[in-house]
Structure formats: structure tokens, C-alpha cells
Amino acid sequence: MASLRTWWKATQPHSFVASLVGVALGTAIAWREARTFDGLALLLTAVGVVCLHAATNMSNDSVDFRRGVDDLPPELVSPFTGGARVLPDRALSVEAHRRVWIALYGLAALIGVILSVTRPNGWILLVLGAVGGLIGIFYTLPPLALQYHGIGEVAVTIIFGPIVVLGAYAVQRGALGWEAFLASLPLGLLVAAFLLVNEMPEHRTDPKGGKRTIPARIGLEKSVVLYEALVGSALFLLVAFSVLQWISWVAVIGLIALVPLARARAVLRAHYREYPAHIPANAGTIQAVLLLGVAMTLAYLISAAANL
């Protein structure tokens, strides 16, 4: 039997940063607005979101393995490319792997139903959960196979921005809110940039399995420009929304994400065709997601405590 460590690896836990910071941000916004907080509901939200994220990661690996997408030369394999590698390395059987990711989707759905019947205006959570769940399921699974058709970045912007942040907010408040929606957009765009930079090393190998990601469609040079546009848009919206006070002006401390992003951009510009020299760009982008999400969450907690 496979070890727990192998199963943990199969879920690609390093990516959960993108889910959990969104949950934290939505919860913090709800706290600032109404001083409402339910710890058990927050825990269920976090577990449900992580289960959906893990299931999507694993089903993505399953489809990629069947199509031969993860059959990569050694120089392209890194912690950020080629999936968890548990299927190509024969660490897990395809059938056991499939049963677990189906169970994770089921658990995420169950948690969503529990929250919808125990929290005020549960229909909101049902709608958000259904949209997020369908995007996760059809991220690589047919018939939609969103990432295979080059719209993976749109999908992750929606899920890790509005769906997760608004969902966590609605769990606490029983309502939707424009501020939570606007605050989610910079985070969603940075997660999209992280996906894009992860796809770039596989721009030639992905199409062999029918996977036409954005880098496979437009090439590496234009992908670098798109990466800069996504990152720039995320930071611009953060500043603009803060200055306009559409979100807490304290949220501008999220600009701390510029530190790893500046290095990531420099590495990507210099080494976008060189592997594994590109890896610091991947690492810097996920660090920026973490810093932006944590900084914005802290901003809302600070502004709540200081009545700003």
C-alpha cells in the first residue's frame, strides 16, 4: 500500500496556498464589516475548499497521465511542472488514484451542502459551490476540459478570486458583498499568473496530448508579456481600489508582493526558455500569492481593530 506521504504528494499541497489565503481574506472582510465569526464554519469552509482543490489537482494529473502529457524529459520536471508525478512514477495505481479524487470531490460537495443548510441564505453557498465545483471538475475532465482549450487561467481567476473569497465571506455573513468581490480580483489574477508560468516549460510537450494551453498557443515570448500583464493588472487594481476606498485603503500593504514578483519577472525575462533556470519565477509567483493574500487579510483585521 502507498504511504500517506505519497498520497499527500498526490494532492500537490504546495498549491493549497492559493485556496487558503482566499478563505482567510473573505473571512477577514466579513469580520471587519459585521464582527461576525463562526470558527467551525470557517474550518468547514477551509476543508471543503482544500478538498475541491486537491480533487482538481488529482483529476488533472489523471487526465494528463492518460493522454501522455506528463511524459516529460527530465530537465522539465520540477516541483511546479509535470504534476505530482505519482502516476508516471507508478507510486500509485490509476484506479486507486481515481477513487480518491472522486471521493474528495464528494467530500467537498458534502461540506458545501452542510454549510448551505446550516448558514443563513444557504442558497448563495449552493450557487457558489456549484459553480466552483463544476469549474474544478471540468478543468481538465471532458467534455469541457477547460485547460486543454486554453482557458485555464480564466477558470482559476474565477475560482481562486471571487468564488473562494465570496464563498468564505458568505459563510460568515449569509450574503454577498461588493467589497469582497473587488478584493478578490487581484488575488485571482496572481493565481492565474502562477498557472501561466507553470505551463510555460511544457509549451511543446502539452500539445502532444491535445493540451493547448496559452503558452502552447501563443508561444513563450507572448506568454512572458501576458504574465507581466496579469501581474501588473493585479497590482494596479489593488492600488486603484484602495485609493478609491472601494476596498480598505490599508489593503495597499499587499504591495509587499512586489518583492518576489520583481525577482520572478527578472528571472522569467532572462530564462523563459531555459529549464530549470526558470524555477525561481514559479517560486516567486506563488510566494507573491501568499504575501498578497496574507497582507490583505491582515489589512482587514487591522482596519477592523482600529475602526479604519
**Span 96-118, average pLDDT:** 97
Position 118, amino acid: T
In angstroms, rounded to a whole number, what is the distance separating the alpha carbons of residues 182 and 150?
Answer: 25
pLDDT in tens, 247-295: 999 999 999 999 999 999 999 999 999 988 999 999 999 999 999 999 9
Which CATH number goes with the domain that contains 13?
Answer: 1.10.600
> Any idea what the Cα angle at residue 35 is, between residues 29 and 38, rounded to 5°?
85
Give the SS3 label for residue 78.
strand
Q: What is the pLDDT of residue 71?
A: 77
In angstroms, rounded to a whole number, what is the distance separating the alpha carbons of residues 96 and 164?
Answer: 28
pTM of the model: 0.95
pLDDT in tens, 125-178: 999 999 999 999 999 999 999 999 999 999 999 999 999 999 999 999 999 999
Q: What is the pLDDT of residue 307?
A: 79
67-71 CB contacts, 8 Å cutoff, 24+ apart: 67/209, 67/210, 67/211, 68/208, 68/209, 69/202, 69/205, 69/206, 69/208, 69/209, 69/211, 71/205
Q: Please provide the size of the chain in residues.
A: 308
Q: Where are the alpha helices (DSSP H) in 68-202?
A: 94-118, 122-137, 152-158, 164-173, 178-199
The radius of gyration of the chain's CA atoms, rounded to the nearest angstrom, is 19
The parent domain of residue 132 ranges over 4-305
Please report how many Cα atoms fall inside a 13 Å half-sphere around the Cα of residue 151, on the Cβ side: 12
Tell me the percentage of the chain whose pLDDT exceeds 90. Answer: 86
Our count of domains for the chain comes to: 1
> Any idea what the Cα angle at residue 233 is, between residues 272 and 173, rounded to 5°?
125
